[in-house]
Structure 1
Amino acid sequence: MTSPPTVLLCDDSRALRMLASRQLVEAGFQVVAEAGNGIQAVEQYRARRPDLVLMDLVMPECDGKLALGRILALDPSARVVVLSSLGAEADIQECLRLGAKSYLQKPIDPEVMARVLHDALA
Protein backbone atom coordinates (compact mmCIF):
# COMPACT_ATOMS: atom_id res chain seq x y z
CA MET A 1 0.00 0.00 0.00
CA THR A 2 1.39 3.41 -0.96
CA SER A 3 1.09 6.39 1.32
CA PRO A 4 -1.18 9.25 0.29
CA PRO A 5 0.33 12.33 -1.37
CA THR A 6 1.34 14.96 1.18
CA VAL A 7 0.05 18.53 1.08
CA LEU A 8 1.13 21.81 2.65
CA LEU A 9 -2.00 23.95 3.05
CA CYS A 10 -1.38 27.72 3.09
CA ASP A 11 -4.17 30.21 3.78
CA ASP A 12 -4.57 33.02 6.29
CA SER A 13 -8.13 31.88 7.06
CA ARG A 14 -8.14 29.23 9.79
CA ALA A 15 -11.73 28.31 8.85
CA LEU A 16 -10.74 27.71 5.23
CA ARG A 17 -7.74 25.62 6.30
CA MET A 18 -10.02 23.45 8.45
CA LEU A 19 -12.53 22.98 5.61
CA ALA A 20 -9.88 22.35 2.95
CA SER A 21 -7.98 19.97 5.22
CA ARG A 22 -11.09 17.83 5.68
CA GLN A 23 -11.77 17.89 1.92
CA LEU A 24 -8.17 16.96 1.15
CA VAL A 25 -8.24 13.97 3.50
CA GLU A 26 -11.56 12.83 1.98
CA ALA A 27 -9.92 13.06 -1.47
CA GLY A 28 -7.03 10.81 -0.43
CA PHE A 29 -4.36 13.36 0.53
CA GLN A 30 -2.45 13.78 3.78
CA VAL A 31 -2.12 17.33 5.12
CA VAL A 32 1.36 17.38 6.68
CA ALA A 33 1.49 21.08 7.57
CA GLU A 34 -0.48 24.30 7.50
CA ALA A 35 0.66 27.90 7.17
CA GLY A 36 -1.14 31.18 7.79
CA ASN A 37 1.17 33.36 5.70
CA GLY A 38 3.82 33.07 3.02
CA ILE A 39 6.76 33.16 5.43
CA GLN A 40 5.37 30.16 7.31
CA ALA A 41 4.64 28.45 3.98
CA VAL A 42 8.28 28.70 2.88
CA GLU A 43 9.50 27.51 6.31
CA GLN A 44 7.08 24.56 6.30
CA TYR A 45 8.02 23.65 2.73
CA ARG A 46 11.70 23.66 3.65
CA ALA A 47 11.03 21.46 6.71
CA ARG A 48 8.47 19.04 5.22
CA ARG A 49 9.06 18.88 1.44
CA PRO A 50 5.43 17.91 0.70
CA ASP A 51 4.32 16.46 -2.62
CA LEU A 52 2.02 19.45 -3.19
CA VAL A 53 1.42 22.96 -1.91
CA LEU A 54 -2.05 24.52 -1.96
CA MET A 55 -1.36 28.26 -1.64
CA ASP A 56 -3.63 31.25 -1.12
CA LEU A 57 -2.55 34.42 -2.91
CA VAL A 58 -3.65 37.12 -0.47
CA MET A 59 -1.93 36.57 2.89
CA PRO A 60 -0.26 38.85 5.44
CA GLU A 61 3.51 39.37 5.74
CA CYS A 62 4.36 37.54 2.50
CA ASP A 63 1.77 36.95 -0.21
CA GLY A 64 1.30 33.78 -2.22
CA LYS A 65 3.10 35.03 -5.32
CA LEU A 66 6.24 35.86 -3.34
CA ALA A 67 6.03 32.56 -1.40
CA LEU A 68 5.55 30.67 -4.68
CA GLY A 69 8.78 32.19 -6.01
CA ARG A 70 10.68 31.41 -2.81
CA ILE A 71 9.47 27.79 -2.73
CA LEU A 72 10.43 27.29 -6.38
CA ALA A 73 13.84 28.82 -5.66
CA LEU A 74 14.32 26.18 -2.93
CA ASP A 75 12.98 23.38 -5.11
CA PRO A 76 12.38 23.99 -8.83
CA SER A 77 10.36 20.75 -8.99
CA ALA A 78 7.87 21.89 -6.30
CA ARG A 79 4.23 21.45 -7.25
CA VAL A 80 2.25 24.50 -6.17
CA VAL A 81 -1.44 25.02 -6.88
CA VAL A 82 -2.67 28.54 -6.19
CA LEU A 83 -5.99 29.01 -4.41
CA SER A 84 -7.57 32.44 -4.32
CA SER A 85 -10.73 34.46 -4.42
CA LEU A 86 -8.99 36.71 -6.93
CA GLY A 87 -10.24 35.58 -10.31
CA ALA A 88 -8.67 38.03 -12.71
CA GLU A 89 -7.14 36.39 -15.78
CA ALA A 90 -3.96 38.45 -15.24
CA ASP A 91 -3.50 36.95 -11.74
CA ILE A 92 -4.04 33.44 -13.07
CA GLN A 93 -1.55 33.92 -15.91
CA GLU A 94 1.04 35.52 -13.64
CA CYS A 95 0.90 32.59 -11.19
CA LEU A 96 1.23 30.08 -14.01
CA ARG A 97 4.12 32.08 -15.49
CA LEU A 98 5.82 32.08 -12.07
CA GLY A 99 5.61 28.28 -11.99
CA ALA A 100 2.31 27.31 -10.38
CA LYS A 101 0.98 24.02 -11.74
CA SER A 102 -2.63 25.22 -11.66
CA TYR A 103 -5.04 27.71 -10.17
CA LEU A 104 -8.22 27.13 -8.14
CA GLN A 105 -10.82 29.72 -7.23
CA LYS A 106 -12.60 30.03 -3.90
CA PRO A 107 -15.05 28.83 -2.83
CA ILE A 108 -13.50 25.40 -3.09
CA ASP A 109 -15.33 22.74 -5.05
CA PRO A 110 -14.01 19.50 -3.47
CA GLU A 111 -14.29 17.44 -6.67
CA VAL A 112 -12.54 20.08 -8.79
CA MET A 113 -9.83 20.51 -6.15
CA ALA A 114 -9.17 16.75 -6.00
CA ARG A 115 -8.94 16.52 -9.79
CA VAL A 116 -6.63 19.55 -10.11
CA LEU A 117 -4.32 18.30 -7.34
CA HIS A 118 -4.12 14.80 -8.77
CA ASP A 119 -3.37 16.30 -12.20
CA ALA A 120 -0.59 18.42 -10.64
CA LEU A 121 1.02 15.22 -9.36
CA ALA A 122 0.90 13.49 -12.76
Structure 2
Amino acid sequence: MTARPTVLLCDDSRALRMLAAGQLEEAGFQVAGEAGNGHDAVSQYQALKPDLVLLDLVMPECDGRQALAKILELDPQAKVVILSSLGAQSDIEECLRLGARSYLQKPIDPDAMERVLRDALA
Protein backbone atom coordinates (compact mmCIF):
# COMPACT_ATOMS: atom_id res chain seq x y z
CA MET A 1 0.00 0.00 0.00
CA THR A 2 1.32 3.42 -0.91
CA ALA A 3 1.32 6.27 1.56
CA ARG A 4 -1.57 8.68 1.44
CA PRO A 5 -0.66 12.11 0.03
CA THR A 6 -0.22 14.71 2.77
CA VAL A 7 -2.07 18.01 2.68
CA LEU A 8 -1.52 21.26 4.57
CA LEU A 9 -4.94 22.84 5.05
CA CYS A 10 -4.86 26.65 5.32
CA ASP A 11 -8.02 28.64 6.03
CA ASP A 12 -8.93 31.19 8.68
CA SER A 13 -12.26 29.42 9.30
CA ARG A 14 -11.86 26.62 11.82
CA ALA A 15 -15.25 25.21 10.79
CA LEU A 16 -14.16 25.01 7.15
CA ARG A 17 -10.87 23.37 8.13
CA MET A 18 -12.78 20.73 10.12
CA LEU A 19 -15.17 20.11 7.21
CA ALA A 20 -12.39 19.98 4.61
CA ALA A 21 -10.23 17.73 6.82
CA GLY A 22 -13.01 15.16 6.98
CA GLN A 23 -13.55 15.33 3.23
CA LEU A 24 -9.81 14.99 2.58
CA GLU A 25 -9.53 11.96 4.86
CA GLU A 26 -12.52 10.32 3.15
CA ALA A 27 -10.88 10.94 -0.24
CA GLY A 28 -7.70 9.17 0.85
CA PHE A 29 -5.53 12.14 1.79
CA GLN A 30 -3.80 12.69 5.12
CA VAL A 31 -4.07 16.14 6.72
CA ALA A 32 -0.48 16.84 7.77
CA GLY A 33 -1.29 20.14 9.43
CA GLU A 34 -3.53 23.18 9.52
CA ALA A 35 -2.95 26.92 9.47
CA GLY A 36 -5.32 29.81 10.18
CA ASN A 37 -3.29 32.58 8.52
CA GLY A 38 -0.68 33.01 5.83
CA HIS A 39 2.30 33.28 8.19
CA ASP A 40 1.38 29.96 9.82
CA ALA A 41 0.84 28.44 6.36
CA VAL A 42 4.41 29.30 5.36
CA SER A 43 5.97 28.08 8.61
CA GLN A 44 3.86 24.89 8.58
CA TYR A 45 4.93 24.27 4.98
CA GLN A 46 8.59 24.56 5.98
CA ALA A 47 8.14 22.26 8.98
CA LEU A 48 5.93 19.61 7.39
CA LYS A 49 6.92 19.55 3.69
CA PRO A 50 3.45 18.31 2.66
CA ASP A 51 2.73 16.86 -0.78
CA LEU A 52 0.14 19.56 -1.38
CA VAL A 53 -1.17 22.81 0.12
CA LEU A 54 -4.85 23.78 0.08
CA LEU A 55 -4.72 27.56 0.60
CA ASP A 56 -7.46 30.13 1.24
CA LEU A 57 -6.96 33.57 -0.29
CA VAL A 58 -8.60 35.75 2.36
CA MET A 59 -6.76 35.24 5.66
CA PRO A 60 -5.51 37.60 8.38
CA GLU A 61 -1.92 38.80 8.81
CA CYS A 62 -0.69 37.40 5.49
CA ASP A 63 -3.18 36.62 2.76
CA GLY A 64 -3.17 33.63 0.43
CA ARG A 65 -1.44 35.43 -2.42
CA GLN A 66 1.44 36.44 -0.13
CA ALA A 67 1.63 32.94 1.37
CA LEU A 68 1.58 31.38 -2.11
CA ALA A 69 4.48 33.57 -3.21
CA LYS A 70 6.51 32.79 -0.08
CA ILE A 71 5.88 29.04 -0.28
CA LEU A 72 6.91 28.97 -3.95
CA GLU A 73 9.98 31.06 -3.13
CA LEU A 74 10.97 28.42 -0.54
CA ASP A 75 10.09 25.53 -2.84
CA PRO A 76 9.44 26.25 -6.53
CA GLN A 77 8.12 22.68 -6.88
CA ALA A 78 5.42 23.16 -4.20
CA LYS A 79 1.96 22.06 -5.25
CA VAL A 80 -0.54 24.66 -4.08
CA VAL A 81 -4.28 24.67 -4.81
CA ILE A 82 -6.20 27.83 -3.95
CA LEU A 83 -9.50 27.41 -2.12
CA SER A 84 -11.56 30.59 -1.93
CA SER A 85 -14.97 32.17 -1.99
CA LEU A 86 -13.53 34.81 -4.33
CA GLY A 87 -14.60 33.65 -7.75
CA ALA A 88 -13.68 36.53 -10.05
CA GLN A 89 -11.84 35.39 -13.15
CA SER A 90 -9.12 37.94 -12.37
CA ASP A 91 -8.50 36.30 -8.94
CA ILE A 92 -8.25 32.86 -10.53
CA GLU A 93 -5.92 34.04 -13.30
CA GLU A 94 -3.68 35.91 -10.83
CA CYS A 95 -3.27 32.85 -8.60
CA LEU A 96 -2.49 30.59 -11.54
CA ARG A 97 -0.01 33.16 -12.87
CA LEU A 98 1.66 33.28 -9.44
CA GLY A 99 2.14 29.50 -9.57
CA ALA A 100 -0.93 27.83 -8.05
CA ARG A 101 -1.69 24.47 -9.66
CA SER A 102 -5.44 25.01 -9.60
CA TYR A 103 -8.30 26.89 -7.97
CA LEU A 104 -11.30 25.54 -6.05
CA GLN A 105 -14.41 27.58 -5.32
CA LYS A 106 -16.11 27.53 -1.91
CA PRO A 107 -18.36 25.94 -0.82
CA ILE A 108 -16.32 22.77 -1.26
CA ASP A 109 -17.63 20.08 -3.58
CA PRO A 110 -15.90 16.92 -2.25
CA ASP A 111 -15.76 15.21 -5.66
CA ALA A 112 -14.35 18.29 -7.38
CA MET A 113 -11.83 18.75 -4.57
CA GLU A 114 -10.58 15.19 -4.85
CA ARG A 115 -10.28 15.44 -8.64
CA VAL A 116 -8.45 18.80 -8.53
CA LEU A 117 -6.04 17.66 -5.81
CA ARG A 118 -5.21 14.40 -7.58
CA ASP A 119 -4.61 16.32 -10.82
CA ALA A 120 -2.32 18.77 -8.96
CA LEU A 121 -0.27 15.86 -7.62
CA ALA A 122 0.01 14.11 -11.00
TM range, normalised to the smaller chain? over 0.9
Per the alignment, residue 31 of structure 2 pairs with 31
SS in 2 for 1:4: coil
Q: Does 1:76 align with 2:98?
A: no
How far did 1:55 drift?
0.2
User: What does 1:1-122 align with in structure 2 at a 5 Å threshold?
Assistant: 1-122=1-122
Matched to 2:96, the amino acid is: L
**How far, CA to CA, are the matches of 1:27 and 1:116 in structure 2?**
12
- The list of structure 1 runs, each at least 4 consecutive aligned residues, that deviate by more than 2 angstroms after superposition, is none
Cα deviation 1:11-57 (Å, max 9, x = unaligned): 00000000000000000000010000000000000000000000000
SS in 1 for 2:103: strand
Matched to 1:120, the amino acid is: A
- May I ask how many residue pairs the two structures share in their alignment? 122
**How far, CA to CA, are the matches of 2:73 and 2:27 in structure 1?**
29
Consecutive unaligned residues of structure 2, counting only runs of 5 or more, are none
CA RMSD of aligned residues (A): 0.2
**How far, CA to CA, are the matches of 2:48 and 2:74 in structure 1?**
12
**How far, CA to CA, are the matches of 1:32 and 1:52 in structure 2?**
10
How far did 1:111 drift?
0.2
Consecutive unaligned residues of structure 1, counting only runs of 5 or more, are none
